[in-house]
Amino acid sequence: MPGAATLRPRRSRSPREWAFRGGFAIVALALGYVSTSETLALVLSRSNPARAYAINDHDGRIGVRLAEQLVTSGNAGPAQFAHAERIARRALRDEPLSAGALTVLGLNAQRRGDTAAARALFARSDALSRRELGTRLWLIEDAVARGDIAGALRHYDIALRTSTRAPDLLYPVLASAIADPRIARETVRVLEGRPAWSGMFVDYLATSGPDARSTARLFRALAQAHVPVPEVATANAVNALITAGAFDAAWNYYSALRKGADRRRSRDADFGAQVAVPTALDWTPVMLDAGVTASIQQSTTDGVFDFAAPATVGGVVLQQMQVLPPGRYRIEGRSVGIAQDDGQRPYWTLLCIDGRELGRVEVPNSSQAEGRFFGELTVGAGCPAQTLRLVVRPSNAIGGVSGQIDRVELRPS
């Protein structure tokens, strides 16, 4: 039979061989169980370090996580702190280079009032790893307590470079702290080095900073130090000052950004400024409805404001905030393509910040006086800020209303 020569009768194994093979299988199974249980414990330690520690109490990483949980729980008492210290010391024996274990021991030393021992432990932790956030936070607090602002900011910088959790913890604190001029100056010095976190912190300040005035001061200091601040951040900072009712501060910061701006006049009379991110103090087209278009269209030298609204639709299509001193003012400009019946033509209105209308000037049809328009407006005392608006009236014309403003200026009369 083909292949018969390859067949061999099975040799029966001796009891000794079977015992050896069985023992080897048991050892392999035991090793596999230990390896699997250790891996499981390490994974589990992120969500339940106490249970993980019960599975494997010889892994220093797991011990550190449990000790950290014990000392940072809000209701930790003396027994928990003592238990955490025992676990941390054992973790340090298992993992001699464990910065986390030293952090726990340092926190316990501080709790006992032994600041010297705490400093020594945190210094060892710092020498082992720059990524231990608990150590970095303690070093920040210690530097602040000693009045070492430069040292505190140095540790801020390290924490924000090395920990993904640090921004959530430290941005709000630093954003509040820059109200202190000394801290603001040191923060500018650190940001001059362009650390990787600087852009995110600037964005945080512009959108979530607790004090708009402090944010604007820091941004101006950064500009003076030749540290670029994104236009969207500066626009947000100006608008935050306006929202806070700090109109003078908003104008001061805005005028530093827009050289030559005069608070007694509207800005950008011919729509040629090409502002990528407008503030409330710049021209801002307003989209009323899905059928309305409102945009500033620019050429190489100047621009034009173009608008269109369907029949029976009206409202604000363009606006610019003002910070005019009390007095009489003249608005003048030129339109293109406006042709509407009486009572349906667009008009300019100046509103006080409290909602009072200070006056309005109708835009005549563009066929009259080459489209030129003008009028007088008065700003009285007690009106620190105003908004100049172009309002479209609902039209009965089938095509609605459309046109362009190629120039407009509000100036002292």
CATH 3.40.50.300 matches 36-257: no
Tell me the pLDDT tens digit for each residue of 65-106: 776 777 676 566 777 777 777 877 787 777 777 778 888 888
pLDDT, residue 3, reads 45
Residues contacting 359, CB < 8 A, separation 6+: 349, 350, 375, 376, 377, 378
Q: DSSP code of 164?
A: S
CA atoms lying within 13 Å on the CB side of residue 308: 7
Question: Mean of the pLDDT values across residues 363-392?
Answer: 95
Q: DSSP code of 135?
A: H
Contact 225, 261 (CB under 8 A): no
Mean pLDDT of the chain: 84
CA distance 323 to 329: 13
Q: For residue 59, what pLDDT band results from cuts at 50, 70 and 90?
A: low
pLDDT, residue 117, reads 86
Q: For residue 4, what pLDDT band results from cuts at 50, 70 and 90?
A: very low
Which carries the bigger pLDDT value, residue 115 or residue 45?
115
CA angle 193, 162, 39 (to 5 degrees): 165
CA dihedral 117, 119, 121, 125 (to 10 degrees): 180
Residues contacting 135, CB < 8 A, separation 6+: 99, 102, 103, 106, 122, 125, 126, 129
pLDDT at 42 over 70: no
pLDDT, residue 31, reads 33
Q: For residue 47, what pLDDT band results from cuts at 50, 70 and 90?
A: low
Question: Mean of the pLDDT values across residues 115-140?
Answer: 86
Whether the domain at 36-257 and the domain at 284-412 fall into the same CATH topology: no
Lowest mean pLDDT among 95-99, 113-117, 139-143, 406-410: 95-99
Tokens in use for 398? 């089938």
With H, G, I as helix, E, B as strand and everything else as coil, classify residue 140: helix
Tokens in use for 165? 């959790």
Q: Give the CATH H-level superfamily of domain 284-412.
A: Galactose-binding domain-like (2.60.120.260)
pLDDT, residue 27, reads 38
Q: Give the strand pairing for 284-285 and 303-309.
A: unpaired
Q: Where are the domains of the chain?
A: 36-257, 284-412
pTM of the model: 0.77
Tokens in use for 264? 């007694």
CA distance 363 to 338: 8
Which carries the bigger pLDDT value, residue 304 or residue 112?
304
